[in-house]
Structure 1
Amino acid sequence: MTSAPPTTEPWAAPHARGPVQAAVSLPGSKSLTNRALVLAALAEGPSVVRRALRSRDTLLMAGALTALGARVETATDDWTVEPAPLVGGGSVDCGLAGTVTRFVPPVAGLADGPVAFDGDPGMRTRPVGEVLTALRALGVRIDGDRLPFTVHGTGSLRGGRVVLDASGSSQFVSALLLAGARFEEGLDLLHDGKALPSQPHIDMTVAMLRGHGVEVDDGEPARWRVAPGPILAVDQSIEPDLSNAAAFLALAATTGGRVTVRDWPAQTTQAGDAIRDLLGRMGCSVLRDELGLTVTGSDRIKGIDVDLHEVGELTPVVAALCALADGPSYLRGIAHIRGHETDRIAALATELRGLGADVTELADGLELRPATLHGGLFRSYADHRMAHAAAVLGSAVEGVRVDDVAATSKTFPDFPAVWSALLDAR
């Protein structure tokens, strides 16, 4: 577990002086945007990704697809994508984006030459080997098992049956599914390993493929069959990022206030939608109507015993709330988040203890008990979700400082300003 050097002086997380009463419109989902961009680049004609998230991760994806020959116009909030024959000879900057590192290599396997991949130092330690091993089994030559690596595309990929262990990340499955229809024989993908994490993200991928006219059979557990065929060009509107929304809704709990996130979808495949149930179990009132999702806090935060295996990305914000709760909490089933932007379990345990929390690090989660917290420096480890957790804590605990709030640019470049404005205008 290492920390990137801070890009700015520590950010003083704003402390709420009373209940926050606010309504906020949030940027689009990173998960939806990057999947939409990949499918648009592989489609049979041009399309538009409306309300695309403009962040470091999504701009890296646009740059990666451009390096492979697609034209991605990002000047407005509606990004136009014009597919073209996939070309090799270029390079892809993955940054710290797992979606770029994992989703783009199968696309590069369809290119007509070598494509070099590299990224931030932190990305070089994150797992990607299962995707590369699966591609090798499908006939792709790849130099390297972690960043940096080079995919030697030959212009086509036969496809067929492949077995992989996706217990480390659901993105391993999504990466192959997104490109599977372009393989000559399609794809018959089988997961062989421990329980899959973040199943909602795989469901999201399958739903988006079907929305593009791709035939996907997922009727058998841990197996997905993608029929070969065209990927239809479909204009798509991106929902607000519900995982980013978790921090803002948490303000209702930490301040006893009322926060509305506008345009909350009635139905969604985003894992972040689970924050509704979690906040309800922690003592908040939750209402979704035509305006969006409104969370109203009470005079206490209840502890929670929950398996977050399916929604591990919510762990940092939930852990921050648990550190403020008046009863014990047990967060389980999240061993896989040790392989996210940082080892989130170890990082949360370390930083929460630094603010006075009573927390025990478990192999697959955290145990937290009531304690009196105090201010101090909270390190983000170049991880946007860690910075979100620090901001949530700072709303309730005076004197919390974040070493690198700029890490939030990964999925929400304006986070510090939007967050501060909400607390200033409470």
Structure 2
Amino acid sequence: MYAWPASEVPALPGSGRDLRIHDTATGGPITLDPGPVARIYVCGITPYDATHLGHAATYNAFDLVQRVWLDTKRQVHYVQNVTDVDDPLLERAERDGQDWTELAERETALFREDMTALRMLPPQHYIGAVEAIPGIVPLVERLRDCGAAYELDGDIYYSVESDPAFGKVSGLDAATMRQLFAERGGDPERPGKKNPLDPMLWLAAREGEPSWDGGSLGRGRPGWHIECVAIALDHLGMGFDVQGGGSDLAFPHHEMGASHAQTVTGEYPFAQAYVHAGMVALHGEKMSKSKGNLVFVSALRRDGVDPVAIRLALLAHHYRDNWEWTDAVLEEAVERLARWRSAVSRPDGPPADAVVEEIREALANDLDAPAALEAVDRWAAVQESEGGTDEGAPGLVSRAVDALLGVAL
């Protein structure tokens, strides 16, 4: 599967800062220390509706992570999946009378268009669950063969009790885990399971549903969590730098994925940091497909909204915060974009070296994008009221917000 085209990232004078970021597993900030090649895995969409602003906010956060690393002169190895076969996708296709593969391809194509418009840096590897099946099957077989998985009516489950570190990613108690597991695709009430929290590794073929040859597992399709594990291990290996996604993925998805990987490899940890973005709400409730309270990037673009303004609206909120999308949020972003473009359109301006360093400092401090925006706002305000004589300043500010914030002026 292919991703989307990469926008050019301008080179800036000097060098960026190492990233200090909030790690869900430790509950506090850690300073990331990647090698020359920083490794990041971000969980992708299930393509039956794309791309709402909750998606966009999440991918914007991890786009900033990449940009901070690139500014430190590191290379970035970024991997993202597409869950192109799963119950929600099949249910939507059946509801709408569509072929599930056509639905997945259409929504994935729309997602690519939105990511391109928002100038999100693409992954080097963009992998669908279906194409990952040849790598998933051996992992499930290894888990079964080492006693960490068991069969139940033809389905294969992972035993969470096989991993002593289970629970360390989310830090949740058993009762909360069970509640969230039921809400987020799990089946804690299924009779015969060894532990209510045991997740599905391989779903045996059901009549009328797609299935693939699973070798000794029989025909079927993979569970959600093992999909990302297989892709991450194949392209990044154990101990990669950041596992990212929305805060609703901390449990069960990232908890289960880490447990699968640690059990099958005998190594720890799966990722050095687990980083989670907050949720975006509309009309007082978290945007969700089940509630239908979604604002789509493609719809905003069709209405003539500049994608750069959409990106600025996302950047105005700290990535870990939960926040609400309103008309006022977008209006503020449109006005900010106009001020910034006016400021950099002049032939000279106030010195900008300090602005670049302020943006770098803000982003290195747990991706504090709002503080970075405020630094540019201050420079633009001085430009508007007093101007300046530095001929290179407007160009430097323009390159800095492009390189570090993904905002093209």
Name the TM tier (shorter chain).
under 0.3
Higher percent of residues as helix: 2
TM-score (norm 2): 0.28
